[in-house]
Amino acid sequence: MMPVLRPPRHPSLDLKPLIRDIPDFPKPGILFRDITPLLRDPQGWRAVMTKMGEICQQLQPDLIVGIESRGFIVGTALATDLGIGFVPVRKPGKLPGAVIGVDYALEYGTDRLEITADALQDGAKVLLVDDLLATGGTAAAAAQLVQQAGGTLVGCSFVIELAALNGRERLPASIPVDSLVVYS
């Protein structure tokens, strides 16, 4: 049964003004949602950590897994704040030692994500985090990778979700997905 996330109790700070729109990046026709201004704002960033921390209180993960590269920023800050460990999911060839990988389809080809082979062997409960949920391909691949590596995925949390792209539908239906800022 999927846990139901209660709306987090958090400071009433509106995060949208701290997210910058950059048209035609990284290519024409794309509207990039940039968290750089949010990262510069201590009150805004504290609100992100508070909100995601409340999600963690509900789900009780053992580890935070962050997706390269902005997921590292979100994930390491959250893990440090909570006093739990962090595990990176990276692009190919970036991790030392033995790795487990998963290939996944993109609109224009394929890509691959990897995790250190022994990172989740103990069946750790994992919260998967990233800055953005768009089409869901990368997040779905990372969720699959967590499970292949021996972890138990207990939820996914994102700073931003682009709801019109239906990325949430690509994630496992049995886990809660939470996004702090949703664009329709």
Q: Is 70 noted as a catalytic residue in this protein?
A: yes
Map out the domains of the chain with their CATH numbers.
60-183 (3.40.50.2020)
For residues 73-87, average pLDDT: 98
pLDDT tens by residue, 85-131: 999 999 999 999 999 999 998 877 899 999 999 999 899 999 999 99
* Residue 168 binned pLDDT confidence (cut-offs 50, 70, 90): very high
- Closest by CA position to 58, among listed 183, 177, 181, 182: 177
Catalytic residue among 6, 20, 107, 114: 107
Whole-number pLDDT of residue 12: 59
Q: One-letter amino acid identity for 32?
A: F
Catalytic residue among 33, 46, 70, 90: 70
Total-model pTM: 0.91
Q: Do 100 and 113 touch, CB atoms closer than 8 A?
A: no
CA distance 77 to 70: 11
Whole-number pLDDT of residue 18: 97
CA distance 66 to 72: 5
Percent of the chain with pLDDT over 70: 93
Q: Is 114 noted as a catalytic residue in this protein?
A: no
